[in-house]
Structure 1
Amino acid sequence: MAGNVRPVADERDGLLQFVAQQRLVIRTAAYGLTDEQARATPTASTLSVGGLIKHVATVEDGWIDIVLQKPSEPGANSQDDYANGFRLLEDETLEGVLARYEEVARRTEEVIAGIEDLGQAVPVPKGVPWFPPDVEAWSVRWVLLHLIQETARHAGHADLVREHIDGATAMPLLAAAENWPETPWMKPWSPADAAS
């Protein structure tokens, strides 16, 4: 996938392609990082690149569970689970988190392919403080738009964290990850470019 989404065939294809593009953008923030760097929290927040990728994978998977009206597991969603959802823990690897994100993406695409009407109602879970109490249902379309929004928000966070790790920025990282040719105005990132 290049720096922009390809022309899309229809609404479903467009929504899925824009979700995929944002997944690519946040994954690219991890390009060339070690596990230690992916755990690093170099800004005033506790966010790390690996933790952000882990979080968006968990959120996307959770939203697909909501679309499928799959009940959450008892005891899930403790405060520790929530906090650890933003961290790449010592027993986790960046490679493992990225592999899980690929599995989540495949699941999302399979589930959405099996839904005939993107206007299908998705009941709003109750008791979640950031969900409106006066809305009974969203649509599958709304969920996909929300996943684009959520992933893009955290991709921006990951870009800032990455820049604090070694100075790398989004477009040179994407150019390196996708093997774009060097131009007078765009040089793909390389480990030699890392700030010390």
Structure 2
Amino acid sequence: MAGFYTSQSLSVDVGDDPMKEDLLLLLADQRALLEIAVAGVDEEQARTRTTVSELTLGGIVKHLAHGELDTADMIADPDPDAQFDLSRLDDEYTLGESETWAATLDEYAAATRRFEEVIAAAPLDAMIPQPIAPWAPERVWWSVHRLLANRIRETAHHCGHADIIREALDGQTTMGVLSSGLSF
């Protein structure tokens, strides 16, 4: 689709829903930009901090994988009593000693497939209860459309982080790769 940085197609059938198709293609484009940012990174590089932030490429991919799975589960099996598990935040953005970069990439790929399958099957106007958390003490309900838009925003947000981390790591930039004529 014109207007994206990368050439994407959907891996799921969304029927006759151009809005869902456009949103999933935009998410696929952002994911492809993330893939460019982490392409060729080894285990050590995936764990390396290159800025004053605690973020690493591995931590970003892990976080995005969890976000995709959590959102897919939330849509597929809504829980009107859900509460955010704060203990997850302890290692959400880091690769633990028992976690590998390769497994994290595989987890992200599986999470993106699961998310797309759930979105393909869900009506965009379905209302999903959101977990209560310290930053959201009152229960709110979001549409699947809003949850999908939020995944796009979250992925784009972290693509920028990944690009900065990667540039500081070895000089590679996503736009530099795209400008060189490589296609993803």
TM bracket (short chain): 0.7 to 0.9
Matched residues, number: 173
Contact conserved, 1:23 with 1:151, CA < 8 A, in 2? yes
Shift of 1:4: 3.8
> Cα RMSD (Å) of the superposition?
2.8
The equivalent of 2:169 in structure 1 is: 165
Deviation, structure 1 residue 14: 0.8
In structure 1, stretches of 5+ residues that fail to align are 181-196
Larger radius of gyration: 1
| SS of 2:39 mapped into structure 1 | coil
Partners of 1:125 and 1:5 in 2: CA distance: 35
Runs of 4+ in 1 over 3 A off after TM superposition: 4-9, 76-79, 173-176
Q: Secondary structure at the match of 1:143?
A: helix
Q: Structure 1's 101 and 94: CA in aligned 2 closer, same or farther, altered over 3 A?
A: same
- Normalised by the length of structure 1, the TM-score is 0.77
Q: Which amino acid aligns with 1:90?
A: E
Judging changes above 3 Å, is the alpha-carbon distance between structure 1 residues 46 and 18 closer, same or farther for their aligned structure 2 residues? Answer: same
1:155 aligns with 2:163: no
1:131 maps to 2:136: yes
Question: Is the contact between residue 125 and residue 145 of structure 2 (CA under 8 Å) also seen in structure 1?
Answer: yes
- 1-structure distance, mates of 2:148, 2:137: 18
C-alpha deviations, 1:109-163, integer Å up to 9, x for none?
Answer: 1111212x2100111222x133372x63110000000000011111111111111
Match of 2:67 among 35, 47, 59: 59
Q: Which residue of the partner structure matches residue 147 of structure 2?
A: 143
CA distance, structure 2, for counterparts of residue 78 and residue 124 of structure 1? 15
Identity within the alignment, %: 36
Q: Distance in 2 between matches of 1:113 and 1:7?
A: 14
Distance 1:130 1:106, change over 3 A: same
Q: Secondary structure at the match of 1:29?
A: helix
